[in-house]
Amino acid sequence: MSDHDFIVVGAGSAGCVLANRLSENGKYSVLLLEAGGSDLNFWIWMPIGYGKTFYRKSVNWMYRTEPDPGTGGRVSYWPRGKVMGGSSSINAMVYVRGQPEDFDEWRAMGNPGWGWDDVLPY
């Protein structure tokens, strides 16, 4: 028998948000499971540390694809986070702000709330 109302498997970005949303009102108990460990790691918190987490088995599942006929049989390397925060924790902390014109075009295409001035505060 479980003492929890919900069990969320995977503490990546989506799992953490889901667990937070389910438990934020205090009505539900949530168990959040993660195969990896804590994100309290110097190389995760250091913006340039991505290079150190790229091949570190303790925080990275280090997946490889099957040979892909579309790329001449090449195998691709897919780093995936094995840590609280998932792949977002090992993503090099890259920040790119979109072009205002792109957002304004989305609004003009019938998507209210998606213009540059609408999303800028977020």
What is the rounded average pLDDT for all residues in the chain?
A: 93
Q: Are residues 5 and 23 in the same domain?
A: yes
Per-residue pLDDT, averaged over 96-105, amounts to 92
Q: Are residues 23 and 50 in the same domain?
A: no
Per-residue pLDDT, averaged over 97-114, amounts to 95
Question: Which DSSP category does 28 fall into?
Answer: S
Q: Residue 83: which H helix or E strand, with range?
A: none
Q: Are residues 82 and 46 in the same domain?
A: yes
Residue 63 binned pLDDT confidence (cut-offs 50, 70, 90): very high
| C-alpha distances in Å from residue 75, one per residue of 51, 61, 65 | 20, 16, 5
Question: pLDDT for 19-59, tens place per residue?
Answer: 999 999 999 999 999 999 999 999 999 888 889 999 999 99
The model's pTM: 0.67
* Statement: residue 97 has pLDDT above 90: no
Strand partners, 9: 33
34-43, 50-59, 90-99, 104-113: least confidently modelled range: 90-99
3-state secondary structure of 84: coil
Q: Are residues 49 and 66 in the same domain?
A: yes
* Statement: residue 94 has pLDDT above 70: no
Question: What is the domain count for the chain?
Answer: 3
Q: Are residues 71 and 47 in the same domain?
A: yes
Domain enclosing residue 77, as ranges: 40-91
Q: Are residues 49 and 81 in the same domain?
A: yes
